[in-house]
Structure 1
Amino acid sequence: MRRIAVAVLGVGLLLSACSPTTTRGNVQNAPVNPNAGLDMRDHRYCEILTVYRNGFGVQAEVFNTFGLNECPDSEWNSINADQLKRQTGALAVVKNGPRAWAMDEVQGRDGSVAGKQVTFGAITMIQRATVPLSLSQVKSGIVTPYAEQLVNRSSTYIYRGGKPVRELISPEGKVYVMQTYDLTTSPTAAALENLGTRLKLPAGWQYREFTPQTDLRLDVNGQATVTRDDLQNTYQYAPTLVN
């Protein structure tokens, strides 16, 4: 089930539009850092996904710690997904993380807001998105790296000039910009410096890193397309960028 989490991460990034949640847990009202989205790069966070039936399909409710805490190791490691599954009545509960942000700032708009706060174990999280999944995804837990997934979101990611930007390029020339990286495969930002040599890129795919001289803005109005590499890092399609 971990691969489901990795696929919908980025799917469930902050400032996503949320639909009502059915998650059962301890609802909290912890203070949220109002400036967290202004200085994000390399900040750590964790995610939990709770998967439920929704009519004839299933959906994942995505919660993360951003703006509340940086997901302390001891508290994160003490969370038992099977126990949470029983407590919430979910079809599945998936832990995803720890991870870190690759952009510098995020701006939400058009009603993109956070949902309610829930405590899992000793960690308080905010609902960030509700993402539809196929039954086959839930049963198999498999999502292929370098495949696309859609998420409803209206937001702008900002990458500051003078800082590295990392991209995947598809055989068709579509450019995907890294939005988060997995701290279990790249424990520090410095570990990303040799990422290109560690990826097992499919035929025709490319990886590149560059440093823009001015700020790079990636706008999404309603729906984002995301993908991931084989080391669990996630990327957003940037239609305004051309290979």
Structure 2
Amino acid sequence: MRNMRKIKRYLLTMSLLCSLMTLGACNQNPATEKAGTPEVKGTDIGSKSAVNSEIKPADTTASQDHTDKITMTTGQGKTMELTLQTLSDSRDYLYCELVFDYGDAGNDIYSTSPLGQGKLEWWDDLDLEALAEEFGAKSVYKNGPQWWSMDEVGVMASQPVKVAGVNMVFGAHLPPGTMNIQKYTVFNPAKFQNLVWEAGKPVYQIVDAEGHVYILQGYKVPTEELATLGERFKRLPDGWEYRVNVLKENLMMKLTPREPIPSVQDEFNQIYIRISKSK
């Protein structure tokens, strides 16, 4: 019986690679913040402080088939309830993630999105050793800052948690080794995300040698460099290309761990998601 519980817990862990996550090391970005705070649909989190925000508790019996809410266990052994939260006007929205490494117990991901745009002054001054000690982790590292490339994003997130004096959300607990993804190698993260890129706006894509098209999810280079980023690639495989495209119609993705989500990571630690040929 105990083994069955362990197996169920492991399968649940593997089923939720939060998309807050973009897998990779920190790449400090001098780009400026986008003014204002986008509206957050479906929750009470709409301000940058979000101190009094309340999220309806998740049903602890929720299954993978009920993606509006889910319960997860952190590397500290705490139970966290996550709900699906939709951030509108998310294009160029600045957010920061922290990865807490618990060794064989895996990794916890905390993010400033969707509570409010990240503050680089706070980010630059973080004492990572003190944070690791406070949260009982072996180490902590920065994943970001980064910016959403899509116009609307729905992610799984907990109620606000104070991290170094700033509200963040817990978004995922990942098995050990999940963060070590080879560049330009197709992998299949397990995550719930609803993504929308609007027609008439630029999108940034990688096309592999077989013609599969991958669209950039979150970017870590200055916004003004995205248009010519292809000129900076040094390790792009033969037959692959980077391109900028303008969509003729809205592109919508509803990602679930019940289906493969082919993805690749570039040399700037940015994640691209494969566009289905049916889209």
Report how many aligned residue pairs link the two structures.
210
Verify the 8 A CA contact 2:19 2:193 in the aligned structure 1.
Answer: no
Structure 1: gaps spanning 5 or more residues: 1-7, 28-33
Name the SS of the counterpart of 1:146 in structure 2: coil
The one of 150, 153, 165 equivalent to 1:122 is 165
C-alpha separation in 2, matches of 1:40 and 1:162: 16
2:217 pairs with 1:179: yes
Residues 234 and 202 from structure 1, CA distance in 2 versus in 1: closer, same or farther, beyond 3 angstroms? same
Name the SS of the counterpart of 2:231 in structure 1: helix
Residues 51 and 148 from structure 1, CA distance in 2 versus in 1: closer, same or farther, beyond 3 angstroms? farther
Residues 100 and 120 from structure 1, CA distance in 2 versus in 1: closer, same or farther, beyond 3 angstroms? same
The one of 88, 94, 100 equivalent to 1:50 is 100
Verify the 8 A CA contact 1:75 1:122 in the aligned structure 2.
Answer: no
C-alpha separation in 2, matches of 1:42 and 1:176: 19
Aligned to 1:81: 128
The one of 204, 214, 238 equivalent to 1:166 is 204
RMSD: 2.9
Verify the 8 A CA contact 2:262 2:273 in the aligned structure 1.
Answer: yes
2:74 pairs with 1:21: yes
% identity of equivalent residues: 26
C-alpha separation in 1, matches of 2:188 and 2:20: 7
TM-score normalised over the length of structure 2: 0.66
Ranked by relative contact order (alpha carbons within 8 Å, sequence separation 6 or more), the top structure is: 1
Aligned to 2:226: 192
More strand by share: 1
Residues 74 and 162 from structure 1, CA distance in 2 versus in 1: closer, same or farther, beyond 3 angstroms? same
* Deviations 1:90-148 (CA, angstroms, capped at 9, x unpaired): 1221111110000011246xxxx3124322212211011222232xx78xxx5421123
Structure 2: gaps spanning 5 or more residues: 1-16, 23-67
Aligned to 1:215: 250
Greater Rg over alpha carbons, structure: 2
